Structure 1
């Protein structure tokens, strides 16, 4: 008969940790990064809509219900980008706060998408296609799956397990994010426009009706998107990296 000293402790799997958590030394399968990748995609999509929204202010004759609906969506895109950069800082520092804050962000995003679809379906000025409904449904399903990965998988709980004290304040992250977005957007736009102009000249793109100019502007806008996201992510990462160094040095 096996003695009690040889039995695993109550609630502790053999060779595991209390509560079934993944041991700290166990490599992560990669699923813990899925919410971060999804967050980056949503932020990039929001930046794209902000950049391409110039037509909204150049158009005339739009019904007020359509104009303010789109304007509200652009405002939410700005919130998504700033909030997302803060979440990226938490993720990069593997803060224990990331799963909870990501869940709040994702639930808010899902609620907004549902509200958009309900509004578009009930207001006669809109025409909603099956494709748009399918895209919205896919976004919601992916968001719910990301919440499941962070809230239900022990692997993610072990991966994002750094003490909360190591993460900087939300205010510091937001200020760093805004500064990085602005600087990155400026650098990315200038570099993209210069690159586009260089490619247009090297490949002899026709300038008939401004073709070469439109190409350079397109590359410049792409540089703006990449630079804004890259600058925001880099600045938030630097703030969190500095915070970790201070926390380690103060021990």
Structure 2
């Protein structure tokens, strides 16, 4: 009986851990999509004259994406430290993301340059549904926390390989995204400071090259930092 029950218990524990990690996974995915949107919208408005309504929409979406990334980094830091403030700040971050999804979808109805299609509404609906689901998860107490006080102390062992791989992948994504964002910001400042000519897009290519360098450095340093931080946290 015990041997037959152990796999089921392990499966339930893995499912519980996966559900508990869903808010952080969604946080990382949303931040990556926001950085991708910032990159694409930056190139879209570079050297192109667009209607005033479209430009306002793009600038507003860039501001919202920047807020989502910066606040997301703070929330991710709270999750990394297992801070009790994580549920509140994640709920705030997800609530702002829901408002942005709904607001920008509605804005397309009042800007004549946009052609109404169903695909943005479908994407917004999926994003809102996931955000609401993850809010429910973080506001609900995890079953493992109820047993922490009564569970016997277990000496810390080696970090499972799966945990290291997962954290390394998250470090790769977040490190690359952060490096790209910092590189693009630094590239724009350096291009303006050095007064690089924009003839045939030269200044844009220079800023993009610095952003690509930041992406590479972040993608290398992110997994290394994540693995070292995981091992040190396990020992602690």
* TM, length-normalised to structure 2: 0.58
Q: Distance in 2 between matches of 1:233 and 1:34?
A: 20
Q: Distance in 1 between matches of 2:211 and 2:121?
A: 28
Match status 1:151 vs 2:139: yes
Cα pair distance change 1:55/1:98, threshold 3 Å: same
Which of the pair is proportionally richer in helix? 2
Aligned to 2:89: 101
Structure 2, unaligned stretches of length 5 or more? 1-12, 148-173, 184-204
> Structure 1 segments of 4 or more deviating over 4 A?
156-159, 182-186, 217-239
Deviations 1:118-152 (A, max 9, x none): 11112222123111110110000000000011112
Cα pair distance change 1:66/1:124, threshold 3 Å: same
Q: Distance in 1 between matches of 2:45 and 2:129?
A: 30
Q: What displacement does 1:98 show? A: 0.5
Aligned counterparts, 1:1-251, within 5 A: 28-52=16-40, 53-60=42-49, 62-155=50-143, 181=178, 185-186=182-183, 224-225=214-215
Q: What displacement does 1:86 show? A: 0.6
* TM, length-normalised to structure 1: 0.55
Contact 1:106 1:147 in 2 (8 A): yes
Give the secondary structure class of the aligned counterpart of 1:137.
Answer: helix
Which structure ranks higher in relative contact order (CA pairs < 8 Å, sequence separation ≥ 6)? 1
Q: Distance in 1 between matches of 2:61 and 2:116?
A: 16
Cα pair distance change 1:158/1:111, threshold 3 Å: farther
Contact 1:47 1:77 in 2 (8 A): yes
The structure having more radius of gyration, on CA atoms, is 1
Number of aligned residue pairs:
173
Cα pair distance change 1:120/1:184, threshold 3 Å: closer
